[in-house]
Amino acid sequence: MLKENIKAIRKSKGLSQQELAVKLNVVRQTISKWEQGLSVPDSDMLISLSEALATPVSTLLGENVTEPEADDLKAISAKLEVINLQLAQRKAAGKKMLHWLLIALCAGIAAIFAFLLALESPYLGWDYSDPETAVLGVALHAFEWLFVRVAPLILVAAFLGLFLTRKD
């Protein structure tokens, strides 16, 4: 029973005899002898073996371990396919949303530029001796000054983003 369990678990973990031997610091022939039933591991080695195979000692000693059947693999494969499809759809939806947000950003920047051009900086002719209009004029001037310098960079970045998120 032990020999079959060691072999079945080792194969299910995708390990060769050599790889398991390296993990346990023994020679490959030792693993081969265990799997053929010619010898058995001592108690310390049995614990190390269970740790290397990430399997309880009771499973190694008592329970029969069968390799996964083809039907199980097909079911797992089908589930993974569904998950991959869902992830691809989520990624495509996120890409589409980002694309439309970038379009909205470009349109917003263009609208603000048009609005500022239409205003022709009206605060330059304001009476700055009145504290309320002075504060408002300075705030509008600061916004326009910053917008005119930063918006072109944002617009270029948004166009680059639009190019990168276009449909293939």
CATH number of the domain within which 32 lies: 1.10.260.40
Total residue count of the chain as it appears in this document: 168
CA 32 to chain centre: 40
Give residue 96's domain range.
87-164
Check whether 122 has a pLDDT greater than 80: no
> What contacts 64, CB < 8 A, 6 or more positions away?
1, 4, 5
In a domain, 45, yes or no: yes
100 and 43 part of one domain: no
Among 61, 79, 101, residue at a domain's last position: 61
Q: What is the count of structural domains for the chain?
A: 2
Mean pLDDT in residue range 80-104: 92
| CB 31 within 8 Å of CB 2 | no
Mean pLDDT in residue range 8-12: 89
Q: Which residue has the tokens 């990624």?
A: 91
pLDDT at position 98, please?
A: 94
Task: Write out pLDDT tens, residues 151-168.
Answer: 999 999 999 999 988 876
157 and 91 part of one domain: yes
In a domain, 75, yes or no: no
97 and 135 part of one domain: yes
pLDDT at position 76, please?
A: 85
96 and 134 part of one domain: yes
pLDDT at position 119, please?
A: 80
| CB 5 within 8 Å of CB 58 | no
91 and 142 part of one domain: yes
**Nearest-CA neighbor of 102 among 156, 150, 149, 26?**
156
CA geometry: angle 100, 105, 111, nearest 5 deg: 125
pLDDT at position 103, please?
A: 94
Mapped onto helix, strand or coil, the DSSP state of residue 55 is coil
The pTM of the full predicted model, rounded to 2 decimals, is: 0.48
